[in-house]
Structures are given as structure tokens and as C-alpha cells.
């Protein structure tokens, strides 16, 4: 789609826009089902890059403690718990510029992927830049989707990051597409960009071939010590408009209401789900930033009659804590 087409959708009167996006959602998705994804930072902090929003960049003093790469055993343990708690997607993130085939750390990530892939969840990784070889190795190990966000418009990108380019991001996405892994790609709003920048970002996403499998929409978590620490929260109606426009433009993509939910009201999140968001990160931590805890999400989804997406394999397993099952929220407790 072109920017002009997207702008026409985005500028539709608010209630007409969300009515249309809800209809698009209903035509393509199981009604009222939300995918729960667990995020795990498998290597934290000390990153060479200067992304202005990120607490893990070594260039800023943010209070994030550097941690070395987790072992496959430790990662597998967390993944097993995530599955028991109802997650159907497990996403492993690493704070580094990129990965190289043959590097022992990359070999260790491949082993972690092989283990998680056997648990019957979607396996997602976000490891920064990669080439064709690395993409094929990840696909072979069992990765379903590679998360690599374009984050903002091509025009705004250089004001946020200077250590790599927007084109570098697109090149990695090209290698992921070639390997057969799905692309999970979205962005962040609240970086000081305009609403037009957001639509220009969406224009790039809608022109991917194949279309992205999922689109994370992050609202900036302003991390102390980063250049963007003082950014104001995003206007909720602008967020809902963007989600609705994304749902209409990419009807088959999972639209993930990602970082920043701790700064949204429950009513705001409800509007995002109505407008077509159908996936969230679940658990009290994102990579380093806060996320609403399990209890808050349990309560929110129950209040909205939203059901977590059922696991893909085997029986609906009883909740790890209560060993009860049978209600729509049992596995979330
Ligand atoms: N290093 C890899 C990369 O840059 O692709 C993977 C990890 S990186 C932390 C993954 C994504 O998290 C970023 O592209 C960005 O969209 C999101 N992110 C990072 N810090 C954020 C923040 N403070 N608020 C919202 N989203 C953030
Ligand atoms: C994405 O788009 N959002 C997630 C996931 N992909 C890797 C990361 C959000 C990070 C929020 C900031 C933090 O936790 O440090
Ligand atoms: Fe590094 Fe990724 Fe953070 Fe940028 S977003 S500083 S590449 S971890």
C-alpha cells in the first residue's frame, strides 16, 4: 500500500475506522482470541549500538546490568514454564549488533532453539543483524519467526540510530525472508516522530513480500539514562488509529500490542484489542523493562471475555500452579 492510501484509512472518522478494522479482524481471526508470548532476554546489556530508546546500549548509563549469554539448559527451563503458563510463542532476545556463523555464542543459540522448538510453541528470536548463512542455520534449528523491527520511518531512523542504517535492517529482513522463516517486524511509537512517520513505517511493512507474519507495535518505554528518557506517553487515540490501520492494511498479520502497556489504561488496551490487536507479551518483564504482571493480564482478559490462544499440540494442560482447568482463564493463573 502507499502512504496516501494508508493516510486515507488512518484519517477516517474514529468510530468508522475501528468498526472497519474490527470487521477485518473478524473476517480473518478466531474471535476474541489473544496470543500470549513470553519474552526472554538471553543476553542482556553491553550492546555496541546506539539506538536512542534502548537501555541495553553500552553507550548510555541506564542501570541495566550486563549478563552473559544464558545456557541452553537455563533457557529451556524458562521456556517450559512459559508453556505451562499458557504462552504459545517464546521469543528470545539478545543485545548485540548481530550474529556470525561459527561463533560459539551463535552455536549456543542454535542449540537453545533446537531445545525450545521441541516444546510445541512458536519459536521467535531477535538477534540483530544476520546474513543468509545465519538465517538458514536458524531456520534449520527450528526458528519459526525472526523479529527485526524497522522501528520508525526511513526518514526518522537516522535521528534515533547512527551505528547502523535503515537499509541494514531491510537487508537482514531480506535474508530472513529468503531462509523461509517468518518475519516479525514492527516499530516503536513515541520516539518524537510524527504521525506521518508512523504511516511511512507502515508503508514499508505493507510492501514486504511476503507480508510480515506479525507486527509488534511498541510504545516507547522511556528508559532512564537513554536520550529518549523524557519522551511523553503516546496519545491513546493515535495508538488505536495506528493499530486499526495496521489491521486493515495487513489483515492476516498478528498485530502485537507490545512494549508500553504499563503506561496504558485498561480501557486503552481494550480499545487496542477492539481495533484488531491480537497478541501481547505476557509476564512481568519485557527484556529489561516492566510489563503488566500475569495477574493484571489475567484480570484484563477475563473482564474483556478474551481467551488466550490455545496451545498447538497436545491436551490443554492444567495450570502449573492450581492444577485446575476448565474455565477460559484457568491456564493463566
Ligand atoms: N538487538 C536486537 C535488535 O536491535 O534487533 C534485538 C533486541 S531489541 C531490544 C528488539 C526491539 O525492542 C527493538 O527493535 C525495539 O523495537 C524494541 N525496544 C527496545 N527498547 C525499547 C523501549 N525502550 N521501548 C519500546 N521498545 C523497545
Ligand atoms: C518487540 O517488538 N518488542 C519486544 C520484542 N520485540 C523483542 C522487546 C520490547 C523491549 C522493551 C524494552 C526493554 O524491555 O528493554
Ligand atoms: Fe542493541 Fe538492539 Fe538495543 Fe539497538 S535495540 S542497542 S541493537 S539491543
Give tens-digit pLDDT for 184-230: 999 999 999 999 999 999 999 999 999 999 999 999 999 999 999 99
Q: What is the model's pTM?
A: 0.94
And the C-alpha cell for 113?
532453539
225 Cα: distance to centroid of ligand 3 (angstroms)? 14
Is residue 127 within 8 Å of 107, Cβ to Cβ? no
Element (H, E) at 297: helix 294-303
Q: What's residue 310's pLDDT? A: 81
Query: In the prediction, which pLDDT does 218 show?
Result: 98
Evaluated on CA atoms 218, 238, 254, 136, the torsion sign reads: negative
C-alpha grid cell, residue 330 = 484457568
Residue 329 has pLDDT above 60, yes or no: no
| SS3 assignment, position 57 | strand
Fold for domain 3-308? Answer: TIM Barrel (3.20.20)
Please tell me the residue having the least CA distance from ligand 3 atom 8.
95
Higher pLDDT, 321 or 219: 219
Please give the pLDDT value at position 311.
Answer: 74
List the catalytic residue out of 20, 83, 91, 169.
91
Beta bridge partners of 20: none
Lowest mean pLDDT among 106-120, 206-220, 251-265, 318-332: 318-332
What pLDDT, on the 0 to 100 scale, is given for residue 319? 36
Tell me: pLDDT of 142 over 80: yes
Query: CA–CA distance from 263 to each of 213, 232, 235 (Å)?
Result: 26, 10, 11
The predicted pLDDT at position 314 comes to 41
pLDDT for 13: 98
Q: What is the pLDDT of residues 101-133, one digit of tens each?
A: 999 999 999 999 999 999 999 999 999 999 999
**Predicted confidence band at 309 (pLDDT cuts at 50, 70, 90)?**
confident
Q: What is the largest CA-CA distance in the chain?
A: 54
Q: Which of 20, 37, 83, 184 does the annotation list as catalytic?
A: 184
Q: How confident is the model at residue 312 (pLDDT cuts 50, 70, 90)?
A: low
Answer yes or no: is pLDDT of 322 > 90. Answer: no
Half-sphere exposure in the Cβ direction for 209 (13 Å, CA): 2
Helix axes 166-179, 132-141, angle to 10 degrees: 50
Cα angle, residue 203 at apex, residues 197 and 204 outer, rounded to 5°: 95
- Omega before 210 within 30 of 0, i.e. cis: yes
State the catalytic residue, choosing from 20, 37, 54, 89: 54
Instruction: Determine whether the shortest distance from the Cβ of 187 to ligand 3 is under 6 A.
Output: no
Q: How far is the CA of 67 from the centre of ligand 3 (A)?
A: 14
Of the chain, the percentage scoring pLDDT greater than 70 comes to 93
Amino acid at each position: 500500500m502507499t502512504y496516501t492510501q494508508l493516510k486515507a484509512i488512518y484519517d477516517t472518522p474514529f468510530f468508522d475506522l475501528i468498526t472497519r478494522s474490527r470487521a477485518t479482524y473478524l473476517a480473518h481471526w478466531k474471535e476474541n482470541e489473544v496470543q500470549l508470548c513470553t519474552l526472554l532476554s538471553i543476553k542482556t546489556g553491553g550492546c555496541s549500538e546506539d539506538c536512542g530508546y534502548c537501555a541495553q546500549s553500552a553507550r548510555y548509563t541506564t542501570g541495566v546490568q550486563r549478563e552473559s549469554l544464558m545456557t541452553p539448559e537455563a533457557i529451556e527451563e524458562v521456556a517450559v514454564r512459559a508453556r505451562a503458563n499458557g504462552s504459545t510463542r517464546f521469543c528470545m532476545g539478545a543485545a548485540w549488533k548481530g550474529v556470525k556463523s561459527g561463533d560459539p555464542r551463535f552455536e549456543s543459540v542454535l542449540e537453545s532453539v533446537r531445545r525450545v522448538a521441541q516444546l510445541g510453541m512458536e519459536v521467535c528470536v531477535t538477534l540483530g543483524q544476520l546474513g543468509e548463512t545465519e538465517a538458514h542455520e536458524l531456520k534449520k534449528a527450528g526458528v519459526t519467526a525472526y523479529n527485526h523491527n524497522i522501528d520508525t520511518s526511513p526518514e526518522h531512523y537516522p535521528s534515533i540510530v547512527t551505528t547502523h542504517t535503515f537499509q541494514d535492517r531491510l537487508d537482514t529482513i531480506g535474508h530472513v525472508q529468503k531462509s523461509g522463516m517468518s518475519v516479525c517486524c514492527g516499530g516503536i511509537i513515541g520516539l518524537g516522530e510524527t504521525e506521518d512517520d508512523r504511516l511511512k513505517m507502515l508503508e514499508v511493512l505493507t510492501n514486504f513480500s511476503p507480508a510480515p507474519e506479525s507486527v509488534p507495535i511498541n510504545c516507547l518505554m522511556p528508559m532512564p539514562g537513554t536520550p529518549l528518557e523524557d519522551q511523553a506517553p503516546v496519545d491513546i487515540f493515535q495508538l488505536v488509529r495506528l493499530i486499526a490501520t495496521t489491521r486493515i492494511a495487513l489483515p492476516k498479520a498478528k498485530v502485537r500490542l507490545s512494549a508500553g502497556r504499563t503506561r496504558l489504561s485498561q480501557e486503552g488496551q481494550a480499545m487496542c484489542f477492539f481495533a484488531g490487536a491480537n497478541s501481547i507479551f505476557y509476564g512481568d518483564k519485557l527484556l529489561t523493562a516492566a510489563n503488566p504482571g500475569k495477574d493484571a493480564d489475567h484480570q484484563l482478559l477475563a473482564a474483556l471475555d478474551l481467551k488466550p490462544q490455545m496451545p498447538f499440540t497436545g491436551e490443554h494442560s492444567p495450570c502449573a500452579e492450581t492444577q485446575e482447568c476448565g474455565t477460559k482463564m484457568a491456564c493463566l493463573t
